[in-house]
Structure 1
Amino acid sequence: MSFRYRVATVFGGSGFIGRHLIKRLAKTGTVIRVATRHPSTANFLRMNGAVGQIIPIATNINDDASVAAAVQGADIVINLIGILYESGSNTFQGTQADAPGRIARAAKAAGARRFVQISAIGADANSASAYARTKAAGEQAVLEAFPEATILRPSIVFGPEDGFFNRFAAMARIFPALPLIGGGHTRFQPVYVGDVADAVMRALELPEAQGKTYELGGPRVYTFRRLMELVLAETRRKRFLVPISWSMAELQGRILGKLPKPMLTADQVELLKSDNVVQPGAATIQDLGIDPTAAEVIIPTYLDRFRVGGRYSQRAGGYTA
């Protein structure tokens, strides 16, 4: 595959989406800088390219000079950084609102030709959720600094290393029931991580993608209840699905949110009150020339490790305790 870009800087490249994107970028021959707080944690990415092609570099996204150094000489800049909950100095405001603007300003000053910002479906400046508000603020800051930037808003992203299906499959292995927050009626449109990585690549290639926002969803819409049923079917476990009222979920979120790695926060409960699906009239993943992959095709390839007896168990279908 030929590619007209020579140098790319990817912020958050060692994360879930990043590891899939780096593989694709490396095949184009592009030199890739992986901007991260801890370069040693990104060394595994080097194996995806030729010697010296993929270079982890220490970067502080809260420091103008550090960000400027990371993007110096880059043709393209991609920001994948995001958090699901606040922890210590990692705040929604700093990570999802301030940092994207800082990165975009530095990219524009460095002469980068393309910028891709990963946001999220539901980004809304008026949302009651701090996550959604700061995602929207990050988009605005990016477009103010780099009007030609492409914004990609995925729904829940799934794949072998995801934090959604894996989390609930792990819970089903331990607990007798799974929670249906708000009754489990919230709708989602899960999108495969490989399709999201392909969408980034297409956004870099297509001239018409400049300055546009795309909402990335899979081919099917599911309720939260249906997603939990999929988890149980793939792990071959029988568990109760227990509806949890919004008020009870908010209380649980406030309590669990105090843990170092919370399973649920009050802000996440607020997010769950709104459907997480592609909005009518939005530009979509299909507009980028990608036919999205259904969750049922991919999740059996990695949730089977949660089955009783493990991935290679000969236990035939049906549910177990």
Structure 2
Amino acid sequence: MHILIAGATGFIGSHIAADLRRQGHTVTAAGRGIERARSLAPDLHWIACDFRHDGAADWRPRLAGIDAVINCVGVLQDGLGDHSRAAHVDGAAALFAACAETGVRRVIHISAVGADAASGSAYARDKQDGEAALKALDLDWVILRPSLVIARNVYGGTALVRALCGLPWLTPVVGGKQVFRPIGMEDLCAAISDLVQPDAPARVSWDVGGPQRVSMDELVRGYRRWLGFGKTRIWHVPRWLAAPAFGLGDALGWLGVRTSMRTTALKQLDFDVEGDPSDWIAATGATPRGFDACLASAPAGLQDRWHARLGFARPVARWVLGLYWLITGILSLTIARGDAYDVLQAAGYEPAMQTFLLWFGSAFDLSMGLAMLAKWRVRLISAIMIAGTFAYILALSLTLPSLWADALGPILKVFPMMALALMIAATEDER
């Protein structure tokens, strides 16, 4: 079969694409930012799409020769580059309408457990409206609402859980009693592989999950055992205390920094993240594994432990590095301005050159700090920081070599900063 997967750059979509390709299907993978995706999965046929702008007319030529469509597009909430209504309703409806117009009857739509406006989140309301748009069409549609999907490769909510597990001594959890029915990615892919066939059940919507009910507390403890981190004390963080952190997550979303700690996630956790997979299991005879069995099937490796421990350590490191540069630039123009001029004078620079170097250096520091804090092209900014620091070391070595032996270490102290920039650049990938 020739199958088109919308949202193939995402967590679920990328796994489905790889699984179907492994089975011998021809896969057309559609998504935003496909340049990076193409380098990671060059055996797939990649096409660019954007649910924020594409209409049915854009989709019709893309569907030529397609036997089935799987829609995995989704965003947690509005933010820079993300629009919930466009992703879940308008863009999805355009794709579904194009399927109806071109005769692509088999459409599998990946929704989410708790897709109900009663949850109070725009995410759930839009997910519900997207399902309604598909149900209104004369297509062989299948709607799947997965509970928590777990895989060796993680992103989003499961990445946050692992990051919490990577904290030493104490694991903060908001709530803790919310219940999931985790489903392994392999089991979800197997279900989709069966349901994409022309003779599979149609016009059905099912919650999809595993047989094991797992609370948030049990999820954390299970992942810590799997990672080899041992037991932990769970701190049930009051919602009033956690609210600022989730509000900060919303604000960061508008700066293009995506995090699972957002108010939508909290609303969905409180409403329903479990679902009831009994209808799906009864209708298909599926035998999904439980949470413990999924983890036991693949032992945690070094990269898993590194990822968990870096979950919070890396953002803190990026903020520390950004603030270091930003504050350095501010100090040079304010309370440390006189000291800066003294150093430049001792180095033998003329007054005019002193003023130029002070303002140029301060502007450079400020721009580097702001770019790092805004998470703008982090690898490039890290490289510029390192190059600029080498220039700083070279200039001072030629003009004031005595600073190498200064008790406060104005030259020696920049080497740890360069190492930090190198580590941040090396770990910039998020999915």
Question: Above 0.5 in TM-score?
Answer: yes
Matched residue, 1:162: 154
Matched residue, 1:316: none
Matched residue, 2:218: 226
Matched residue, 2:204: 212
Matched residue, 1:283: 279
- The one of the two structures with greater contact order (alpha-carbon pairs below 8 A, sep at least 6) is 1
The one-letter amino acid of 1:41's match is R
Matched residue, 2:293: 297
Shift of 1:307: 4.4
Shift of 1:146: 4.4
TM-score, scaled to structure 2: 0.63
The structure 2 residue matched to 1:105, chosen from 97, 100, 104, is 97
Matched residue, 1:257: 250
Is there any run of 5+ residues in structure 1 with no aligned partner, and where?
48-53, 311-321
Instruction: Look up the SS of the partner of 2:136 in the other structure.
Output: helix
The 8 Å contact of residues 119 and 271 in structure 2, kept in 1 or not, is answered as: no
The structure 2 residue matched to 1:8, chosen from 3, 27, 30, is 3
RMSD: 2.4
The one-letter amino acid of 1:247's match is W
Higher strand share: 1
The structure 2 residue matched to 1:57, chosen from 26, 29, 47, is 47
Greater Cα radius of gyration, structure 1 or 2: 2
Instruction: Look up the SS of the partner of 1:254 in the other structure.
Output: helix
Instruction: Look up the SS of the partner of 2:41 in the other structure.
Output: helix
What is the total number of aligned residue pairs between the two structures? 296
Instruction: Look up the SS of the partner of 1:33 in the other structure.
Output: strand
The 8 Å contact of residues 177 and 241 in structure 1, kept in 2 or not, is answered as: yes
Shift of 1:217: 0.5
The one-letter amino acid of 1:45's match is A
TM-score, scaled to structure 1: 0.84
Q: Does 1:133 align with 2:125?
A: yes
The 8 Å contact of residues 99 and 138 in structure 1, kept in 2 or not, is answered as: no
Matched residue, 2:19: 24
The one-letter amino acid of 2:54's match is D
CA distance in 2, matches of 1:127, 1:174: 30
Matched residue, 2:420: none
* Shift in CA distance, 28/228, structure 1 to aligned 2, threshold 3 Å: closer
Question: Percent same amino acid among aligned pairs?
Answer: 24
The 8 Å contact of residues 9 and 33 in structure 1, kept in 2 or not, is answered as: yes
The 8 Å contact of residues 194 and 200 in structure 2, kept in 1 or not, is answered as: no
Shift of 1:206: 6.3
The structure 1 residue matched to 2:236, chosen from 243, 250, 260, is 243
The one-letter amino acid of 1:220's match is Q
Farther-moved stretch of structure 1 (165-174 vs 109-118): 165-174
Farther-moved stretch of structure 1 (11-20 vs 195-204): 11-20
**Deviation sequence 1:27-85 (CA, Å, 0-9, x none):** 454322111123323323344xxxxxx31011222211333332233111110111224
CA distance in 2, matches of 1:146, 1:303: 45
CA distance in 2, matches of 1:221, 1:135: 24
Is there any run of 5+ residues in structure 2 with no aligned partner, and where?
309-431
* Shift in CA distance, 304/274, structure 1 to aligned 2, threshold 3 Å: farther
The one-letter amino acid of 1:24's match is D
* Shift in CA distance, 291/189, structure 1 to aligned 2, threshold 3 Å: same
Instruction: Look up the SS of the partner of 2:117 in the other structure.
Output: coil
* Shift in CA distance, 290/111, structure 1 to aligned 2, threshold 3 Å: same
The one-letter amino acid of 2:232's match is R
The 8 Å contact of residues 217 and 285 in structure 1, kept in 2 or not, is answered as: no
Farther-moved stretch of structure 1 (136-145 vs 37-46): 37-46
